[in-house]
Amino acid sequence: MHGKALATLALAFTLTGAAQAQDAESVLRDAASAPRHLSYAGQVESVEYGSANSHASIYRVEHRSPNLTRRWYLAPQALYGDSIITRATTSYDLDVRHHRIIVSNDDTLEDEVALDDNFALLSSNYRIVPAPAEEVAGRKTLGFMLINRHTGQMCMRVWIDKETHLVLERQAYASDGAVISAMRYDQISYTSNLPAQFFNVPKEQGFATLRGMDHELPSNDIDAVARAAGFNAVGPKYLPEGFQPISGDVSEIKGVRSMHLLYSDGIRTLSLFENARGATADLSRFTVHQTTVESHDARYVEDGPTLLMTWERSGLHFALVGDLSRQEMTRIAESVTP
């Protein structure tokens, strides 16, 4: 009888645990797409920490659901007064210092299917563990830790508005536990009164309009991307556990056809670029470090927490970009063999 009661209790705990996990996942899923149905105005602090340099910014953000956003940069001083207006997939970057508006298009911004797919990837690689709640920007939040199922390491922590499910604070961590990026709302108010005209691009006197980078919808048919490259493209034989190819495209930059494959585990990402036209990476605006990939000379640069490693092998030029440790990036690079 006693045993039966214990078993019932254990079952109840298991069911409660499963329900909590289910709840946590559904809250997080909501959070990933919250800006699609919420309108708000607030102020955000964002920092990216690197061993060579860090980037910090403070910006005002106004967002009208589903896809109108305006960011005004208040800091650093170099960006003060600049703003970025995003209307669906088109962004207008108002650069007041250089009197120009740069217009670029990014089809991935509206790719809800891929976002869903990548959320599924995240939940297959990360355990979502409730964390102590905190107040952020005067709002009650639900805290969650995202723990890598393969390594047991916490890769991200998020604080989600208890009522609206908007992410109000987020911290990402390196494999050694160091914070590599942090974002936090200092102030937020939800409103449905943001007029659409507010997101019109101002007609600034004397501003030149330039065309920036365009990104078409990438493909998740990696074999088709590799075929389209026009050369014998190769990929890494080693990837950290949980990583898989998620999308790719082939573009031409300065007449050089270049293939880009993106790998991810749902939170961390890694890009591999390759070309067969002898086009090296111009690293002149960064501090360059020498290293080797197997016995081949390689170079790497860092920008905030993101590392770019470049090398040549068997007539192909490679560039690997990601937020992983240099040791991990080198191991991946060494596995890119024809």
Partner 1 sequence: MMTHLTHEKLIDYLHDALSPEEDALIYAHIDACSECRSAYLAETQISELLRREAAADERELPSIVKARIWETVRNSAPTPLERVRALFRPAYALAAAALVAALVLIPVTLHNGVASPSIDAAYYFADHAAMNGTIPFADRGSAASAQFETIPASDQTAVVAVPVVYTADAR
Please say which residue, 14 or 37, places its beta carbon nearer to partner 1. Answer: 37
CA torsion angle 118 264 71 44 (round to 10): 100
Provide the 10 A C-beta neighbour count for residue 85: 21
100-106 and 296-303 strand pairing: unpaired
Provide the 10 A C-beta neighbour count for residue 297: 10
Q: 253-272: which residues touch partner 1 (CB under 8 A)?
A: 253-258, 260, 262, 264, 266-267, 269, 271
Q: What would the x/- binding string for partner 1 be over residues 122 to 151, using CB under 8 A?
A: x-x---------------------------
Considering only CA atoms, which of 244, 291, 232, 251 is closest in space to residue 270? 244
Residue count, binding to partner 1 (CB under 8 A): 98
Contact 73, 322 (CB under 8 A): no
Please say which residue, 4 or 211, places its beta carbon nearer to partner 1. Answer: 211
Q: Which helix (H) or strand (E) holds 73?
A: strand 68-75
Please say which residue, 13 or 227, places its beta carbon nearer to partner 1. Answer: 227
Q: How far is the CB of 47 from partner 1 (least distance, A)?
A: 8
Q: 210-239: which residues touch partner 1 (CB under 8 A)?
A: 210-221, 224-225, 228, 230
CA distance 173 to 181: 7
Q: Which of 21, 82, 127, 164 binds partner 1 (CB under 8 A)?
A: 82
CA torsion angle 219 221 225 228 (round to 10): -110
Q: 148-187: which residues touch partner 1 (CB under 8 A)?
A: 156, 158, 167, 170, 181, 183
Q: Which of 40, 73, 173, 243 binds partner 1 (CB under 8 A)?
A: 73
Q: Which stretch binds partner 1 (CB under 8 A): 6-14, 189-197, 207-215, 232-240?
A: 207-215
Please say which residue, 258 or 330, places its beta carbon nearer to partner 1. Answer: 258
Orientation angle between helical segments 112-125 and 2-32, nearest 10 degrees: 150
Q: Which of 9, 12, 52, 56 binds partner 1 (CB under 8 A)?
A: 56
